[in-house]
Amino acid sequence: MEGGGLRLFFALPLPAELREALDRWQRAQPGTRGWSRPEGLHLTLAFLGERPVEALPTLLGLAAAVADRHGTFGLRAAGLGGFPKLDPVRVLWLGLDPCPALETLAADLRGALTAAGEAFDLKPFHPHLTLARFRRARAMTAFAPPPPAAFTADRLVLFESRPGGGYTPLGTWNLRRV
């Protein structure tokens, strides 16, 4: 980004098999505009927004410590949802079954950011995978449910959001094998 700033977020990446399955599902749905790129699908834990390059060492160290305190865990898809919550929706997402390990990881990461004085979006954590952002709201009934999906969360990643929608990993930390 110009001026040395980076648009950053912490997330859990999805395994290739799940991204490919969601890509097939997306291509079978009505309309082609607004769908998230399969290679960019992820589970955001904390959105930091614009941060100076100088913040990277602190963020990288903080993430390493957080990842070291958490083990891998399983996640399961729980059906479609959207924002706003009432139909029609502008953002279509895939929800996840409740998972205490995920909630604990997100809370630990957000707590570490707060303790370090690092700014992030303070909206409550609502675990989901954003599948589409539509310019015009769409009815939820227009979409078939995606296939059942389960996956293992095994890595924490600091991503930079690039102009044009791509994401670049700036740091990756394995969660402990349990």
The answer to whether 128 is a known catalytic residue is yes
Report the C-alpha gap between 165 and 65 in whole angstroms.
29
Half-sphere exposure of 21 (CA within 13 A, CB side): 14
* Beta bridge partners of residue 131, listed in sequence order: none
Report the C-alpha gap between 53 and 22 in whole angstroms.
33
Taking the CA atoms of the chain, what radius of gyration do you get in angstroms? 16
Residue whose C-alpha is closest to residue 80's, from 10, 24, 132: 132
How large is the angle between the packed helices 100-115 and 56-68, nearest 10 degrees? 140
Catalytic-labelled residue, pool 70, 110, 128, 138: 128
The answer to whether 42 is a known catalytic residue is yes
- The residues carrying an active-site annotation are 42, 128
